[in-house]
Amino acid sequence: MTETPFIHRFEPATGAGSPPLLLLHGTGGDENDLLGLGKMISPGSALLSPRGRVLEHGMPRFFRRLAEGVFDEEDVRRRALELGDFVSEARKQYGIAAPLAVGFSNGANIAAALLLLKPDVLAGAILLRAMVPLSDPPEAQLGGTPVLLLSGQGDPIVPASNSARLAALLTKAGASVTHKVLPAGHQLSQADVTLARDWIGNIAAAAA
């Protein structure tokens, strides 16, 4: 049985010099969830926003899990490669450069997996409330790929030790990681928006 392609939204760039964003929602979200966030943190960027193809009790996700915080790692690998193929096809279809991923929760976890499994697909990533996606990741060569990891100090889902481990893992793979722990829980705060916007601004300025 052939799976349907990713349902997605695409909004073309409205300004020059802003990097395209790949928006990856959390559990129960869809392709509309992060469009507003994308516009807030990078006005003018092209926005590519797919819907996760796994359903958990009717809620879209990007990969299966066995329990909260326990991932089906075989599925993580397969779904990350599928997402990478989708991004490559979408780049051709819409004529955009390699995007910066902006992922929240489950979307951040698949973005982290994509960085480790297909390092050439993304130009960088903003990982909001992410966890280590793979217990035995491949040796990735991220060659300075910029990553902003924003964790919540009071996050009941992501232990501080796990997000710190993810930062170390990506750094070891060669990514240029900025990890900040915010006085927040699992939900996003205004500080996330401000930090992400400033970080993207710095990335765009450095690329100009």
- 179 in catalytic set: no
Distance of CA 33 to the CA centre of its chain: 13
- 85 in catalytic set: no
Residue for token digits 């297909």? 118
State the catalytic residue, choosing from 105, 151, 163, 192: 105
Residue for token digits 């990506």? 170
Lookup: tokens for 1: 């049985």
Pick from 28, 52, 68, 75: which is nearest to 155 by CA? Answer: 68
- 8 in catalytic set: no
Pick from 67, 155, 48, 162: which is nearest to 107 by CA? Answer: 48
Lookup: tokens for 50: 């797919």
State the catalytic residue, choosing from 30, 88, 186, 189: 186
State the catalytic residue, choosing from 25, 33, 151, 155: 155
Sheet strand arrangement including 124-128? 8-11, 47-50, 21-24, 100-104, 124-128, 146-152, 176-182
Residue for token digits 């939204």? 9
DSSP single-letter state for residue 6 = P
- What is the C-alpha to C-alpha distance for residues 106 and 108, in angstroms, rounded to an integer? 5
Are 192 and 148 in contact, with CB atoms under 8 Å apart? Answer: no
Q: Which residues are catalytic?
A: 105, 155, 186
